[in-house]
Structure 1
């Protein structure tokens, strides 16, 4: 009985919308009645219990709070949580490999270090690769209509759940029982235009004797937001550097024989003849130290910052009671997502293999021609959209119940999750484009000087003549790829909450036996990998992995106030056609309750992550990217800012492949905390976490390799150090006697298994509820996370990188805090939700090639946003709510050093602005249980 107060407080916190009674609110020393509290399974443990709070701190977000706090979907919920401190590439980042996916980074760690579960079962990975390198879980495919609550347990959880649970576990609990039917319609849009959305949800349930059904259907649609929809990023005139306010090089002819390269002036009349392109924005523009060319300052705005989406999801949960001991059950969550993302306009240059350079036999100079095609040429703003159709499902079929008249219970099920992405995109063909412009004005290749082709161009007018949509179509083709992942396993779980009795109470026990398989298949169009498309290559690979696991957990009451939890698990993985690995993990937790309202807790755990399928099975893959050649910037243009350096934006070819000998990543973590719940209306907790990761697998960051190479060549780092030796062997440059001496040619990256990482921090949460006779009921909730330490060491013997103080390696938030205040009176409910994001480094701090502070380096001030919602109940069956996200239309603070488009850190912030949503809910029958 002495534990009931703490359990009651936490149960109440999970439903913050329910205000406690006046007696609880006013009683300074409450004495709860010894009512029986049902045992439940909580995230972070397999043993059912009455206490929701255990040795592992868990943050729970209810479906009601998701609605009231203004979140539009599951990704929004998790991205706003204080534990999600890491910067990520989401659908705002149109230049990546996963333009439609939405990952999170808990505690600033890699997205793949967070295990995402649905009802305790793992989801399939997203088929495409995060940053072209690693697997992760996409949160865009989970419909909010079916979510009962979301639990987040930070820190190592492998002893319970197996691989990948290093940063923590996100467990999405779906609705299991609903009486009656709920129909919900929501629509809204953004203050500044674009992004209009509509969502229709139908959920309900019905019992037929021993059969219970819960069902759901959700359809949603979202219009895109383009860069030109936001004044802050619709033009290069928004660049904070006045010297960089010139247009994109839509038509440019370059003399590369001089340094810096000079533009060959096309003349005002030539540019005027192109003035209708890009919605009438092409002008004769001037770039300092380069010259005149024809370009548009609005060109940059023709990329999406929010994708067009059309989603439909269905959910069915069924349970059938065979008798009073046995239940059969099945759950199916299925979804289809159609999206379109515009990566911006297409580029063509002469001589792709030599970074655009050819020898002009007429002028005797090395030159380059570059074209960026306007929407009027492609036929439509959306002609180049990447169109994806994603299909996913999560299935579980099982039986659970008691074994005879004993205290033993079982849960046996088969689970399978699958994710398929079908992608189509129109792209320029390299050979066809070259042939087209050779016929137009270049003429045929007449010779080669080393790797450089020799042309004798004719009249430039052919270059400065726009294409027709038919001509553009003739030099383009559709890239079509279909990628797939799935994971499946058979799982048998046994539990006994009273295995045997000790003087302090009953010993709880759980065991799990698991056997499964997972697959990853990313068969990119072979023409992409072969380089047939201009300026494009891609990832490829496929493989399968089998796994078996055995896990045990004990909950032991040592004495009346102290309880220990001990769990252990052994996992074995076999990569088909590659290596195998196994790992044993364990976790020890202590819960000390000196009085009924106080919990002191501590835990120590080990964890592992099997190497990503992509890290093991990736085939020889490549990519083209624009990089900063830090070495040439430093040596050829000393004193010039990186933003204005000639060699900022150099095109380079990258290559990578998997490594079949990779071993598991291992980790150790410990934590300690305190929770106080003096009444059923108030609870507060503070917890410390410390995670150390060994043998981490990372694909080398190409920007970091180039920075390291520059520092090594300049003597800022020891050229004989392991990092310098490695960086210099990865980078290929043209010879010193080439027409463009030491020009970057290629960079090779691959996964390695030697890095170390450590993160430490504090989390805190508070819930307070009170009732007044005159003013109604109130509920206050708050969460906070601060990172105290985050360090990484790439190679043994290398200097340790401090992510919190060497900001060009990381722009994660040092702290995030959130708070909500709800008011309920009669039919009215109003909630104000705010989030404070701590300081992050500015752009100047991030681009320093040597890794130290530079002129202009500094930190951005904290960033605060608010959501507000109000709802009104029209009787028992109809309610209307109005929500404003980003209540004060807060935009990312201006960073005067961020001179690269989009002129703010879009891995940390978004540019969407204020949005409005109206929601109508009809209830037919009783409410959700």
Structure 2
């Protein structure tokens, strides 16, 4: 058993012995109305007409999560397009994004205290816009509100599938210290963290401050049964064939090909498990295969530091606030580049026979990327009252600066050529390991940097405008102005594609926008209220848009609420999609180009939600909501192959072919002014408004409170979402294809939380469910099925004398292995399933 488990179990035993017995009942939870995301009208006596999933601070603590991405990963509402720091490939190592309803992170609006954050300067997959939720420290979060409804009429762009509003502390009583240690049973991913959160109050002035550190070691494939090798017997059963073997022909130990006998043999240094029959590669003999899985990261090494300070004071009837937050995230990752090290061959004569010795140059180590992401957030705000109206005004700036260094093991393409020539000339013996001087002579580091900034001003007011016999008519209105800018810049070698095994990205642009909105809540009867909202947005790039929303609240009796809403939404073109610089490539021997497109229009959507809430008393709540979201004009690339099939050699080409094929001599101008001249038939695969995506489903939730159970409060909370339909259209004129239950979109997801809160001891048992789904091909035909996944987490807390509190928890109590769901390493979907296995944590808290 791993040392962290022994330490934690011993501590729990001691605490159980010294902790005082439960002698009084836990105080029943008090119903508290709060201003919920989904309306700008400030009323404490009424919930909005849209469903909101709220994760309170007690829920955050009971989850055992150490980051916002970890908290949300197993949420019932996390979609296939989300990702976390486990995905170290591409240009965004160490980051995380949340995806509501599988519409993509760029169609889920992320707010912090109701205000926007800038996009991460490097796009997911090169061009996907997202807000890095790992840049929001968990210890500063008071609660998380997830609006499960489109809300562009209230918040503008990106609120297509819904809104995640992260509410941070603006008031803290006393001083709170926290330390935590966590480790997995198999090893890897060891974590140490601590934070201090405090506040002081001087009548009309208060100060809130906090600081925290977080360090997690890397988690490797070697620490996992399912990802420690590129040979995967499981797929023999799934696919009805032989075991899947993704090992490479070139290994670091090398192999020898005898030209005269036409046979291959492995070297004596080859590990037995990597000696492979060469017939798998089309040769005679045996070869030493390269199995890099054990060395690859399932999770990178990450260090985070955060600090926050907020000052709040009053002058007469006006309240002022100044808040500054800073987060630094350092990540060391290998990405998928561990398999991209160069190879070389050496021609020799041994015992009169010609042989070729070949191997991979693993001497240089895994190509690593060191990333430092720094986020600063400064907010100045004021609020007060004017008659019966509340008003609020704020100016804020948020910037995210990322410095990325391709640190170790990287080669220029030209240096690879030079090294191979040195081997051919006999200047270097490939059988000898490369010494430090040789490695330093041939490898070097490269720089990649980005920055994203958001400057904004907002003003809003709300209050009753007219009293009627059925109650007041409420009004909210406001204006907003923003300026957004970003850049993604690299060393010339990266831009020119000269770094071996690494791609290139580049973009730079900005835009301005202004918006105004209004919201009215009208009581038509004592039980029926109609909420009308509309927002006008004017962008400096694509133009303007107006989006309305109408919502109904019908409460025939106090214990029953019917609700419904309909509205339109939009997503402004992503800055990467507008301003990405020119990239070139080849597909099937046909050259293609990709670039941003400054002529893009906005994506457009509509959403419909209808349901009811039953709450006969304070001990029971039950809700059902059916929802539907449709999006069209989705910005995407068609793909060079598809464009060639649609547009080349076709007598009646599709209308989308206009400008998609460049003949020899024709030119294309990228957003940065770069002019490309085609020397032969070339595909233009730049971004277009093309795709469509529709989805519908149902959300069910229930909450049961049972007071005075063994002297404490017992609570059951269940949330389930069902995906009834998820259809996609790649471009106009092609039929929609149902993808529900396929490719990372399970038809059902759920979460059950059982807690018992006593005076001195608290227990929490949380069960997460991810339903089965099929891996399907492009035609929608299932290749194999992915099993359901159930993870059970447990936590016990002890309230000790002197305001001490100790928590012990086990995540993935049954050590459930994520199901095999992809034929690429690590063979599991890291968006949907954690990979750490059973892990334990021990946490100490002290209030001063």
| TM-score > 0.5 by shorter chain | yes
Contact 1:393 1:419 in 2 (8 A): yes
Structure 1: which 5+ runs fail to align? 1-17, 25-36, 258-262, 357-366, 444-457, 630-650, 733-744, 925-929
Q: Does structure 2 conserve the Cα–Cα contact (< 8 Å) formed by 1:100 and 1:307?
A: yes
> Of residues 519, 530, 546 in structure 1, which corresponds to 2:485?
519
Residue 604 of structure 1 pairs with residue 566 of structure 2: yes
TM-score normalised to structure 2 length: 0.86
Q: 1:180 aligns with which of 164, 174, 178?
A: 174
SS at match of 1:77: helix
Q: Deviations over 1:248-283 (max 9, x none)?
A: 22258999x9xxxxx964434xx22x548xxx9764
Residue of structure 2 equivalent to 1:594:
556
**Cα deviation digits, residues 342-395 of structure 1 (max 9, x gap):** 1242535689xxxx9xxxxxxxxxx99975332xx12x5xx6221001100222
d(CA) in 1 for partners of 2:692 and 2:507? 27
Alignment-derived partner of residue 310 in structure 2: 317
Counterpart CA distance in 1 for 2:42 and 2:559 is: 21
Aligned residue-pair number? 789
Matched, 1:118 2:80: no
Does the 8 A contact of 1:319 with 1:327 survive in 2? yes
TM-superposed deviation, 1:320:
0.3
Give how far 1:866 is off.
0.8
Query: What SS does structure 2 have at the residue aligned with 1:67?
Result: helix
Cα pair distance change 1:161/1:350, threshold 3 Å? same
Q: Could you say if the C-alpha distance between residues 894 and 693 of structure 1 is closer, same or farther in structure 2, counting changes exceeding 3 Å?
A: closer
Q: Could you list the runs of 5+ residues in structure 2 that have no partner in the other structure? A: 1-24, 237-241, 346-354, 665-680
Does 2:377 correspond to 1:410?
A: no
- What's the Cα RMSD here? 3.5
CA contact (8 A) 2:38 2:151 kept: yes
Could you tell me whether the CA contact under 8 Å between 2:96 and 2:133 is conserved in 1? Answer: yes
TM-score by length of 1: 0.79
CA–CA distance in structure 2, aligned partners of residues 505 and 95 of structure 1? 56
1:305 to 282, 291, 298: 298
Partner of 1:440: 423
1:676 counterpart = 2:614: yes
Q: 1:487 & 1:67 partners in 2: Cα distance?
A: 31
Post-superposition offset of 1:535: 3.0
From the superposition, tell whether residues 804 and 316 of structure 1 become closer, same or farther in structure 2 (CA, over 3 Å): same
1:338 lines up with 2:330 in the alignment:
yes
SS at match of 2:437: helix
- Aligned partners of 1:275 and 1:490: how far apart in 2? 63
- Larger mean CA deviation between 222-231 and 166-175 belongs to 222-231
What do the CA deviations read for 1:782-827 (whole angstroms, capped 9, x no partner)? 111111111121221112122126x4xx322222110100012330
Which residue of 207, 230, 236 corresponds with 2:230?
236
**1:197 aligned to which of 185, 191, 205:** 191
Counterpart CA distance in 1 for 2:615 and 2:280 is 65
Q: 2: distance between equivalents of 1:534 and 1:916? A: 40
Q: Which of 244, 267, 285 is the equivalent residue of 2:265?
A: 267
| Equivalent position to 2:406, from 402, 419, 425 | 425
Question: In structure 2, do the counterparts of structure 1 residues 88 and 399 end up closer, same or farther at CA, with 3 Å as the change threshold?
Answer: closer
Matched position secondary structure for 1:402: strand
Deviations 1:625-682 (A, max 9, x none): xx9x8xxxxxxxxxxxxxxxxxxxxx99974210000011111111111001111121
Query: C-alpha separation between the residues in 1 aligned to 2:718 and 2:639?
Result: 36
Task: Report whether the alignment pairs 1:866 with 2:800.
Answer: no
526, 530, 537: which is aligned to 1:564? 530
The answer to whether the 8 Å contact 1:87/1:105 transfers is yes
Equivalent-residue separation in structure 2 for 1:316 and 1:164 (angstroms): 29
Alpha-carbon distance change, 253 to 190 in structure 1, aligned in 2, over 3 angstroms: closer
Q: Distance in 2 between matches of 1:502 and 1:793?
A: 49
Name 1:920's counterpart in structure 2.
844
Pick from 484, 493, 503 the counterpart of residue 460 of structure 2.
493
Aligned counterparts, 1:136-285, within 5 A: 136-240=130-234, 241=236, 242=242, 244-245=244-245, 247-251=247-251, 265-268=263-266, 271-272=267-268, 274-275=269-270, 283=275
The offset of 1:236, in angstroms, is: 2.5
Q: Distance in 2 between matches of 1:249 and 1:481?
A: 31
Q: Are residues 348 and 58 of structure 1, via their aligned partners in 2, closer, same or farther at CA, if it must alter by over 3 Å? A: closer
More deviation, 300-309/544-553: 300-309
Change (3 A) 1:623 1:84: farther
Match of 2:318 among 291, 315, 326: 326
Q: d(CA) in 2 for partners of 1:302 and 1:350?
A: 18
1:712 to 1:535, Cα distance in 2 relative to 1, 3 A: same
From the superposition, tell whether residues 286 and 53 of structure 1 become closer, same or farther in structure 2 (CA, over 3 Å).
Answer: farther
Partners in 2 of 1:111 and 1:868 — Cα distance?
30
- 2:292 and 2:339 in contact (8 A); partners too: no
Task: For 1:795 and 1:223, locate their aligned partners in 2 and report how far apart those are by CA, in whole Å.
Answer: 44
Q: CA deviation at 1:693?
A: 0.9
* Match for residue 280 of structure 2 among 267, 281, 288: 288
Mapping 1:392-791, distance limit 5 Å? 392-403=375-386, 406-426=387-407, 427-441=410-424, 462-496=429-463, 498-575=464-541, 580-621=542-583, 655-700=593-638, 705=641, 722=654, 749-772=685-708, 774-791=710-727
Contact 1:722-1:795 within 8 A present in 2 as well = no
Structure 1 residue 902 displacement after superposition: 1.9
